[in-house]
Chain A
Amino acid sequence: MNEVHYDETLDTKGLNCPMPVVKARKKIGELTEGQVLRIISTDRGSIKDFQGWAKVGKNIELLGQETVDEDGTELYLHFIQKTS
């Protein structure tokens, strides 16, 4: 899923529930409609958290999620588009 285009990146490495979603929410507020935010997280729960947000959130869409390995640490990437 490397082809997902994104405009901004938010690093939430080390942060735990509920901070990745809370910080992403704030950041999304700064973006303009149509822009995509990439969130980097080390919180395993963030995968389901972003899916949950996408399910109830009215102004975002989850374009994709990806798990990558960085020096033995699993990073969870989430791509969220501001839709309105």
Chain B
Amino acid sequence: MSVSDVKTPSGKLDMNELLERLSTVEQRLENLEESQPDDMVAMIVFSGDLDRVLAAFVIATGAAALGQEVSMFFTFWGLGVLKKESNLAGKGLFEKMMSVMSPSNSTQLPVSKMNYFGVGAKMLRQMMKDNNVSSLEEMIDLARELGVKMMACEMSKDVMGIQDEELVGGLESAGVAAFLGDSLRSRTNLFI
């Protein structure tokens, strides 16, 4: 279609046709604007490795500081970051085994390489301290302070037998649709 299509045979502009097209264009523009991503970063934190989780929180706090809305969805091993303690009461055998063998809070997280039964993680923490890098726990507090949204995956909580009482407060329990709701309107999506 071109502008010449809205001319009548006599060569005059057809006003009605023009207005109609204008309103179509306006509608399409509005739809387009609605589908634009927001200033938002969405992250899935799947890993429970200290080094990876640190990267996630550096990005989260940095993005929040830059004025981005940040949404973090913790699932599977990533739930270990949000634990404050391990309870065994009321759990089945496998759930108890899982509890005993998993970190009971963020300070117990292993590193992805050279962990050597936790020595590697302790070493990394010391090296971070020596270099004046904030600890993971400081960054988690900072992220909360900056309004970073944290969601705990309900399904992995059930599978791994993690109870609400074992997790820190201020979390939203959610599923894949809740994450996608944020992810689909985010400019940046990360899986860590």
A residues within 8 Å of B by Cβ? 14-19, 21-22, 24-25, 49, 52-53, 56-59
Task: Tell me the number of A-to-B contacts counted with CB atoms below 8 Å.
Answer: 41
Contact (A56, B132) CB under 8 Å given A21-B62, A22-B61, A22-B146: no
B residues within 8 Å of A by Cβ? 39, 58, 61-62, 64-68, 131-134, 142, 146
Contact B65 A18 (CB under 8 A): yes
Cross-chain pairs A/B with CB under 8 angstroms, 30 sampled: A14-B132, A15-B132, A16-B131, A16-B132, A16-B133, A16-B134, A17-B58, A17-B62, A17-B133, A18-B61, A18-B62, A19-B134, A21-B62, A21-B65, A22-B61, A22-B64, A22-B65, A22-B142, A22-B146, A24-B65, A25-B66, A53-B65, A53-B66, A56-B39, A56-B66, A56-B67, A57-B66, A57-B67, A58-B67, A59-B67
Shortest 7 CB-CB contacts between residues of A and residues of B: A18-B62, A25-B65, A22-B65, A16-B133, A21-B65, A14-B132, A18-B61
Contact A18 B132 (CB under 8 A): no
For residue B62, which residue of chain A has the nearest CB? A18
For residue B142, which residue of chain A has the nearest CB? A22
- On chain A, the residues within 8 Å of B132 by CB distance are 14-16
A56 to B61, CA, bound (A): 15
Q: Which of A14, A22, A57, A58 has the most CB of B within 10 A?
A: A22
**Nearest CB of chain B from residue A26's CB, rounded to whole Å:** 8
For residue B65, which residue of chain A has the nearest CB? A25
Contact (A22, B62) CB under 8 Å given A56-B67, A58-B67, A59-B67: yes
